[in-house]
Amino acid sequence: MQTLPARKTIGFRFKAPEAQSVALVGSFNNWDARRNPMWKDSDGIWKILISMPEGRNEYEFWVDGHEVADPNSRDCALSPSGAKCSVMEV
């Protein structure tokens, strides 16, 4: 029987008051913008809580159809499209 990697719930925030849609994409969801849409609060902060596998996770925000690295991330890499993305150790 195969064991699944341990997971942790992580919260993400992204300030984009003018954005129409924001999603969290990354290595944990096959870079699919449809899988983890975020919701916007009254201050224009987009938020999501997501269960992520432990270990290295590359991610970015998909903002109105454009890739945007997390401005608060300390580490970066290149996404499959060649754009700068953020890295998080969970």
- Residue 74: which CATH number? 2.60.40.10
User: What pLDDT is stored for residue 27 in this prediction?
Assistant: 94
Range of the domain at 12: 7-89
pLDDT in tens, 19-71: 999 999 999 999 999 999 999 999 999 999 999 999 999 999 999 999 999 99
* Domain membership flag for residue 18: yes
13 within some domain:
yes
Q: What amino acid is encoded at 23 in this protein?
A: A
pTM of the model: 0.88
Q: Is 78 helix (H, G, I), strand (E, B) or coil?
A: strand
pLDDT at 1 over 90: no
Confidence of residue 79 (pLDDT cuts 50, 70, 90): confident
Q: Which residues contact 90 (CB under 8 A, 6 or more apart)?
A: 8, 10, 52, 53, 54, 55, 57
User: What total of structural domains would you count in the chain?
Assistant: 1
| Sheet with 7-15, side-by-side order of all strands | 7-15, 45-53, 39-40
13-24 average pLDDT score = 98
Is residue 2 domain-resident? no
